Amino acid sequence: MARLPALNALKAFEASGRHLNFRLAAEEVGVTQGAVAQHVRALEADFQVKLFDRLARGLALTEEGRKYHAPVQRAFDLIRDATDDLRPQQGVVTISVTPSFATKWLVPRLAKFTDANRDLNVQIVASPELANFQDDGIDLAVRQGHAPKGSGLVSAALFPSEFYAVCSPALLEGNHPLLTPEDLDHHTLLLDGHGLWPLFIEEVLTGKPMPTYRTIKFSQTAHAVDAALAGQGVALASDLFVADELTSGRLVRPFPQTVQKDLGFFIVAPRKTRNAVSVSRMWDWLIEQSRTEPSGPMDGSA
218-264, pLDDT tens digit by residue? 988 889 999 999 999 999 988 888 988 999 999 999 999 988 776 67
pLDDT at residue number 54: 94
pLDDT above 60 for 147? yes
pLDDT in tens, 197-215: 888 888 887 766 666 889 9
Instruction: Round to whole Å and give the CA distance between 273 and 269.
Output: 7
pLDDT above 80 for 151? no
Neighbours of 163 (CB within 10 A): 22
Backbone φ, ψ for residue 259 (5° rounding): -130, 140
CATH class of 162-260: alpha beta
pLDDT at residue number 87: 59
pLDDT above 70 for 90? no
pLDDT above 80 for 299? no
**pTM, rounded to two decimals:** 0.57
Q: Does 235 or 2 have the greater pLDDT score? A: 235
Q: Summarize the confidence of residues 173-188 as an average pLDDT.
A: 92
Instruction: Please tell me the CATH code under which domain 92-160+263-290 is placed.
Output: 3.40.190.10
Is residue 143 within 8 A of residue 265, CB to CB? The reply is yes
Q: Is 74 exposed, middle or buried (0-12, 13-18, 19+ CB in 10 A)?
A: exposed
CATH class of 7-86: mainly alpha
pLDDT at residue number 262: 67
Q: Is 4 exposed, middle or buried (0-12, 13-18, 19+ CB in 10 A)?
A: exposed
Neighbours of 82 (CB within 10 A): 9
CATH 3.40.190.10 intervals, the chain: 92-160+263-290, 162-260
| In the chain, % of residues over pLDDT 70 | 91
CATH 1.10.10.10 intervals, the chain: 7-86
| In the chain, % of residues over pLDDT 90 | 46
Alpha helices by DSSP H, 87-208: 99-101, 107-116, 197-204
